[in-house]
Amino acid sequence: MAILNPKIRGATQVRLAAAILLSAAIGMVFAGESLNPVFAGRAGAEFHRAQTQFQSHTNDSAAAWQFARACYDFADFATNNADRAALAELGIAAGHQLLAREPKSAPGHYYLGMNFGQLADARAPSMAAYKLVHEVEREFKSAAELDEHFDFAGPARNLGELYFQAPGWPLSVGSKHKAREWLERAVKLAPDYPENHLSLIEARIKWNDQAGAQRELTLLDTLWPDAQSIFAGEAWERSWNEWSTRRDAARKELDESVAPSKPPKTSR
């Protein structure tokens, strides 16, 4: 295992220690799906488990990226931007510490990008948030170069989502061409993973490509039963809850787009 540059390690550990202390003050509350309190409770429990593991094994690469992942997941349940940002900064600090030691860690770049995304959400709308988008893009590209299969083609999927969701030039990095390229790549890399298909379906609907979206939805319906067997258990319940909701919404939107319009009523 590589030895950190003492200056880098010292600065990173100071930031990380401050962030960990800050986490003790985070009071998380849950609302709406906002989310299902069962899923929120599980995310909180995993956050505290991963944090304890990381604090006890600060030079363990897996402990670092798993903590960064837990920060990202728990931040999804934050009901205010301060809590979301605090959790994202914890994940960012852990990611920086890992990458200072192992700059070619695909999980390190990947979850650093994820937490930069959470921080951008917390700061939006602002120029600071737009600047963070470039950090997100850079980290996902690095992860894709190092291990494009990680997290079921996660780097490609998230790059596609980034280019799909972000405003276009000159405000940000949004690009229909890049979004299509990366979303289609994610499907090719991990064709059995439902979220890859869902992301492409949603993009095609937004682009008024109903035929392409319907083809993708039919393919998703075909693989759905096998995927339920592959991605099974408590750890996947939240994902299936989200995927089912998104599939139903996409199906409804496609059905409405092809439904014949009713003739206007005439008065007698």
User: How many CA atoms does the CB half-sphere of 194 hold within 13 Å?
Assistant: 23
**One domain, residues 107 and 32:** yes
Report if residue 260 sits inside a domain: no
Q: Is 39 left (phi over 0), alpha (psi -120 to 50) or beta?
A: alpha
Which residues does 240 contact at the CB level (< 8 Å), separation at least 6?
Answer: 228, 231
CATH of the domain at 188: 1.25.40
- Whether this model's pTM surpasses 0.75: yes
Domain count, the chain: 2
**One domain, residues 189 and 210:** yes
| Residue 94, domain extent | 1-147
**One domain, residues 127 and 199:** no
**One domain, residues 182 and 247:** yes
**What confidence score (pLDDT) does residue 23 get?**
41
CATH of the domain at 37: 1.25.40.10
**One domain, residues 156 and 230:** yes
Question: Could you report the per-residue pLDDT of 101-131, keeping only the tens digit for each?
Answer: 999 999 999 999 999 999 999 998 888 888 8
- Gap between the terminal Cα atoms of the chain: 85
**DSSP letter string, 15-41:** HHHHHHHHHTT------TTT--HHHHH
| Helix residue spans in 166-207 (DSSP H) | 176-189, 194-206
Report if residue 263 sits inside a domain: no
**One domain, residues 123 and 167:** no
**One domain, residues 91 and 221:** no
**What confidence score (pLDDT) does residue 128 get?**
85
Question: Could you report the per-residue pLDDT of 33-50, keeping only the tens digit for each?
Answer: 445 899 999 999 999 999
The Cα 192–Cα 229 span in angstroms is: 11
Dmax over CA atoms of the chain, in Å, equals: 87
Of 93, 126, 147, the residue at which a domain comes to its end is 147
- Record the tokens describing residue 262, joined without a space: 């009713």
Q: In this structure, what DSSP letter does residue 125 have? A: S
**What confidence score (pLDDT) does residue 223 get?**
98
The Cα 196–Cα 211 span in angstroms is: 18
**What confidence score (pLDDT) does residue 267 get?**
52
- Record the tokens describing residue 42, joined without a space: 């599980």
- Per-residue pLDDT tens, the chain, 268 aa: give them: 332 232 333 343 434 444 434 443 334 333 334 458 999 999 999 999 999 999 999 899 999 999 999 999 999 999 999 999 999 999 999 999 999 999 999 999 999 999 999 999 999 888 888 889 999 999 999 999 999 999 999 999 999 999 999 888 877 899 999 999 999 999 999 999 999 999 999 999 999 999 999 999 999 999 999 999 999 999 999 999 999 999 999 999 999 987 665 555 655 4
The Cα 39–Cα 47 span in angstroms is: 12
**What confidence score (pLDDT) does residue 22 get?**
41
Question: Which single residue is written with the structure tokens 């986490």?
Answer: 23
**One domain, residues 40 and 12:** yes
Report if residue 262 sits inside a domain: no
What is the CA angle 229-70-59, rounded to 5? 115
Report if residue 266 sits inside a domain: no
Of 118, 147, 176, the residue at which a domain comes to its end is 147
**One domain, residues 80 and 171:** no
**One domain, residues 206 and 241:** yes
Which residues does 5 contact at the CB level (< 8 Å), separation at least 6?
Answer: 100
**What confidence score (pLDDT) does residue 245 get?**
97
Report if residue 169 sits inside a domain: yes
Neighbour-count burial for 151-166, b at 16+ CB within 10 Å, e otherwise? bbbbbbbbbbbbbbbb
**One domain, residues 8 and 118:** yes
Report if residue 245 sits inside a domain: yes
**What confidence score (pLDDT) does residue 266 get?**
56
- Whether the CB-CB separation of 111 and 72 falls below 8 Å is answered with yes
Report if residue 219 sits inside a domain: yes
Which residues does 1 contact at the CB level (< 8 Å), separation at least 6?
Answer: 59, 61, 101, 102
Report if residue 247 sits inside a domain: yes
Q: In this structure, what DSSP letter does residue 80 have? A: S
**One domain, residues 180 and 248:** yes
Of 98, 126, 147, the residue at which a domain comes to its end is 147
